[in-house]
């Protein structure tokens, strides 16, 4: 199930970008883009929606994306502030459902935690199968004839069993390393000990979940602040190649605001940088390009996008998708081989018992 849904999700980002093209619009002659403050104000007219972040695109025809946590997204025309009708019944909803099956059998509520136990354990067992398969297979490849039979497809397979044996080894050989990356990174999502191991291997103490890296004492009254447009303009000076700038809208009493500058396609952690500004005077509190982050933090961000292959761009996504497809064939051929082996054992057992039974 996880391999099939993994194949379906291979080009999720590209499919959703293609779907979102309906939100792109050329501005009218002389029409100016609204400021960040005006766009946030326009979003407040949307019933039941309170934006927690605002994402601006360097493409002047692209929509402005506002999100309320992880649950709701609104697309606005950057020149008129008009909200586009969401297309939640098409690709976005489809991929959301597929991700649900991929992660937790599409369960909801408390059942989701139980389902994650199953998918996490299955993923961990698959990692064991791949690693043990490599260990069992490696000693046999030194013979040239065996190497050819296990690395390349054999068109002269005499029967289905020989074909399944050949396919199982060929797909296993070429997909082994990508699968190790995909499966091990998924383990980080499922288990705290695996997440902590990423930081420990980088020589760091794992961060405490639920703790706050920067604690601000809440003020009794809202802080006087600069327009958000000024903060965005400051962020733009930190990168000439930015594609998107995401402003995390601070609470009324917050003294600072975080802006994330992304120079990639959204799936390349090495091209994402964070700027923290004082909301009152606009002074830079912290500029944190990816290279300035700790080794553990960098590794953890790489893990997220190595799992989908996005960290390596379209090529990485394609490799991840092919590896997931290879996993499907490995499961199928592995089951077929095991079933035939079991049936042969039953036949042998039956014949043995027939011999042992005395004739009447």
Residue 135: predicted pLDDT: 83
Interval 132-155: pLDDT, tens: 988 887 656 566 666 666 788 888
CA distance 245 to 266: 11
**Could you tell me the sign of the dihedral formed by the alpha carbons of 267, 73, 84, 234, in that order?**
negative
The region of weakest confidence among 111-120, 149-158, 241-250, 279-288 is 149-158
Nearest of 240, 178, 130, 174 to residue 6 by alpha carbon:
178
Interval 309-331: pLDDT, tens: 999 999 999 999 999 999 999 99
CA 190 to centroid of chain Cα atoms: 13
Percent of the chain whose pLDDT exceeds 90: 70
Could you tell me the pLDDT band of residue 351, with boundaries at 50, 70 and 90? confident
**Could you tell me the sign of the dihedral formed by the alpha carbons of 222, 223, 226, 232, in that order?**
negative
* Mean pLDDT rounded to a whole number for the chain: 89
Mean pLDDT of 74-103: 87
CB neighbourhood size of 194 (10 A): 17
Interval 20-41: pLDDT, tens: 888 998 988 889 999 999 999 9
Residue 318: predicted pLDDT: 97
Residue 326: predicted pLDDT: 96
Scored b (16 or more CB within 10 A) or e, 96-120 reads: eebebbbbbebbeeeeeeebbeebb
- Helix intervals (H) in the chain: 2-8, 12-19, 36-43, 91-104, 110-137, 144-151, 160-190, 192-201, 228-236, 295-306, 313-356
| 175 touches 323 (CB < 8 A) | yes
């Amino acid at each position: 199930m996880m391999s099939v849904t993994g194949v379906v999700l291979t080009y999720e980002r590209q499919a959703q970008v293609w779907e979102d093209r309906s939100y792109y619009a050329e501005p009218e002659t002389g029409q100016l883009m609204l400021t960040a403050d005006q766009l946030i104000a326009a979003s407040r007219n949307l019933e039941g929606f309170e934006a927690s972040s605002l994402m601006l695109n360097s493409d002047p025809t692209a929509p402005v994306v506002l999100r309320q946590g992880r649950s709701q997204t609104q697309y606005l025309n950057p020149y008129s502030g008009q909200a586009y009708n969401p297309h939640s019944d098409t690709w976005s909803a489809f991929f959301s459902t597929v991700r649900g099956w991929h992660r937790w059998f599409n369960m909801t509520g408390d059942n989701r935690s139980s389902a994650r136990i199953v998918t996490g354990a299955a993923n961990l067992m698959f990692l064991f199968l791949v690693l043990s398969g490599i260990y069992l297979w490696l000693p046999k490849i030194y013979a040239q004839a065996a190497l050819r039979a296990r690395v390349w497809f054999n068109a002269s397979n005499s029967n289905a069993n020989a074909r399944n044996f050949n396919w199982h080894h060929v797909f296993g050989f070429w997909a082994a390393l990508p699968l190790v990356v995909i499966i091990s990174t998924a383990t980080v999502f499922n288990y705290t000990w695996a997440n902590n191991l990423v930081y420990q291997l980088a020589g760091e103490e794992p961060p405490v979940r639920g703790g706050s890296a920067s604690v601000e004492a809440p003020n009794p009254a809202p802080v006087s602040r600069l327009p958000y447009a000024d903060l965005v303009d400051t962020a733009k000076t930190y990168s000439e190649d930015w594609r998107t700038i995401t402003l995390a809208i601070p609470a009324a009493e917050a003294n600072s605001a975080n802006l994330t500058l992304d120079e990639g396609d959204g799936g390349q952690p090495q091209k994402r940088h964070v700027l923290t500004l004082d909301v009152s005077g606009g002074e830079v509190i912290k500029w944190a390009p990816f290279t300035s982050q700790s080794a553990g933090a960098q590794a953890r961000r790489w893990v997220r996008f190595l799992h989908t292959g996005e960290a390596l761009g379209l090529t990485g996504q394609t490799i991840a998708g092919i590896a997931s497809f290879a996993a499907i064939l490995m499961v199928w051929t592995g089951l077929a081989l095991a079933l035939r082996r079991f049936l042969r054992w039953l036949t042998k057992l039956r014949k043995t018992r027939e011999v042992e039974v005395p004739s009447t």
